[in-house]
């Protein structure tokens, strides 16, 4: 087995173990907080704190010596805040809403920055223009394939044995991942994750900046709206997990096939526009058919459109930025989370205005039109 294949094999194991741990707990974090009696406005605030912390973490990484640390060390370091995040769930209650929301937001952000920045850099370093979208689509399959059964497993564990048992299982998986990283994993030859915050944004193409920002708005909207709506239409964590599992694999397989086609014909924009066409009806479907049916229609459309949009934008970034991948990955993370923050705040504004939950996805429809206006 050549070096590149061994790196892909080990990155697959790393992502699978990380996804198992994060999904067993993360799929239910917001649902769990709502079940404790948290008000609905707390979720966009929690999400907003997390995204703000991610942006601050990216900038800190790019301005400090931490940004020149060995890449393997950054990935290993990402496990500690994730483990601490699991522990904070044990003290979550309505009376300490402010403290827990800040703590969990900051810890989730720290893990996200330390894990995804080097991982995405590793992934792009192993690709070339003729296979880049296919490889990104392949890694994008891992989470949805695991989502066929892991949310159901997690929901069953929570219902029968409680949240702490689920947290314990996730923590054990993290320990296994750290051991694998220390002893066995072969990673691409990036000795240090060398980023410079002041150069990052300048090296990203202007049209990509707008595309990634729009991608973030859609992602942030869906990230907050999915648990809010799921909590309304699902009676237990197990019911909610079945909602989460419903369309993820079909969407990921379709994205993988379309990503492969974009590599074959070397035209990303055709499929970029297709993602916007999938996303456009999302908000309209929920507004017109508010209830479990409208929710499932909206989530199914989002399961196709959003991963396709993110995959193609990352492939475009790799195509245009092959000589400065780490800096562009950093800039992408900042812009993506600025968009996510904007999406979460839009939902908070809708809730504050008392317009009604049926309209919380309408900004996805609006933003999808702006994606169609992106030019080559």
pLDDT tens-digit series, residues 196-246: 655 666 777 778 888 999 999 999 888 888 777 766 766 555 555 565 565
Which among 166, 230, 225, 179 has a CA at the least distance from the CA of 22?
166
Q: How many CA atoms lie within 13 A of 194 on its CB side?
A: 6
Dump the DSSP string for 148-164: TTHHHHHHHHHHHH-HH
Q: Which residue has the tokens 């993602």?
A: 275
Give the Å distances, CA to CA, from 185 to 6, 19, 66, 71, 191: 9, 17, 22, 12, 14
The pLDDT value recorded for residue 215 is 93
| Whole-number Å distance between alpha carbons of 91 and 85 | 11
Residue 118 domain boundaries: 3-372
Write the pLDDT tens digit of every residue in 160-180.
Answer: 887 778 778 888 888 888 888
Q: What is the CATH number of the domain that holds 224?
A: 1.20.1250.20
Residue 13 pLDDT more than 60? yes
The pLDDT value recorded for residue 250 is 72
Residue 74 pLDDT more than 70? no
Return the bridge partners of 70, or none.
192
Return the bridge partners of 192, or none.
70
Residue 109 pLDDT more than 70? yes
pTM of the predicted model as reported, rounded to 2 decimal places: 0.84
- Written as six digits, the tokens of 288 are 């017109």
Residues 6 or more apart whose Cβ sits within 8 Å of residue 150: 19, 20, 23, 24, 27
Residue 193 pLDDT more than 60? no
Q: How many CA atoms lie within 13 A of 3 on its CB side?
A: 5
Write the pLDDT tens digit of every residue in 324-345.
Answer: 787 788 888 889 999 999 988 8
* Phi, psi at 355, each rounded to 5°: -70, -35
Q: For 195-207, b where at least 16 C-beta lie within 10 A, e where not — what string?
A: bbbeebbebbeee
Number of domains into which the chain is organized = 1
Query: pLDDT band at residue 349, thresholds of 50, 70 and 90?
Result: confident
| Mean pLDDT over the full length of the chain | 78
């Amino acid at each position: 087995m050549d070096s590149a294949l061994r790196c892909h094999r080990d990155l697959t194991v790393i992502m699978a173990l990380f996804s198992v741990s994060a999904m067993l707990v993360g799929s239910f974090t917001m649902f769990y907080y709502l079940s404790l009696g948290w008000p609905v406005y707390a979720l966009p605030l929690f999400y907003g704190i997390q995204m703000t912390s991610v942006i601050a973490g990216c900038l800190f990484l790019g301005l400090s010596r931490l940004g020149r640390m060995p890449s393997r060390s950054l990935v290993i370091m990402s496990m500690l805040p994730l483990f601490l995040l699991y522990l904070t769930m044990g003290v979550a209650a309505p009376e300490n809403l402010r403290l827990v929301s800040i703590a969990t937001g900051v810890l989730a952000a720290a893990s996200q920055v330390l894990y995804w920045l080097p991982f995405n850099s590793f992934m792009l370093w192993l690709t070339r223009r003729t296979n880049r979208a296919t490889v990104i689509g392949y890694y994008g399959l891992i989470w949805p394939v695991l989502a066929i059964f892991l949310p159901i497993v997690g929901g069953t564990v929570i219902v029968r044995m409680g949240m702490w048992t689920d947290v314990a299982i996730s923590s054990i998986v993290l320990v296994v991942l750290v051991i694998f990283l220390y002893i066995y994993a072969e990673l691409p030859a990036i000795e240090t994750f060398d980023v410079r915050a002041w150069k990052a944004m300048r090296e990203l193409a202007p049209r990509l900046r707008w595309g990634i920002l729009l991608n973030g708005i859609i992602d942030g909207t869906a990230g907050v709206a999915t648990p809010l709506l799921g909590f309304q239409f699902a009676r237990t964590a197990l019911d909610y997990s079945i909602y989460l599992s419903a369309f993820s694999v079909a969407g990921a397989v379709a994205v993988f096939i379309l990503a492969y086609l974009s590599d074959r014909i070397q035209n990303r924009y055709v499929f970029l526009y297709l993602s916007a066409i999938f996303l456009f009806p999302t908000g309209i479907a929920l507004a017109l058919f508010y209830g479990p049916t409208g929710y499932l229609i909206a989530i199914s459309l989002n399961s196709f459109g959003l991963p396709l949009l993110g995959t193609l934008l990352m492939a475009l970034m790799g195509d245009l930025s092959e000589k400065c991948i780490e800096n562009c990955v950093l800039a992408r993370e900042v812009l993506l989370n600025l968009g996510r923050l904007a999406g979460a705040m839009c939902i908070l504004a809708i809730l504050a205005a008392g317009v009604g939950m049926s309209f919380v996805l309408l900004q996805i429809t609006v933003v999808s039109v702006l994606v169609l206006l992106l030019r080559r």
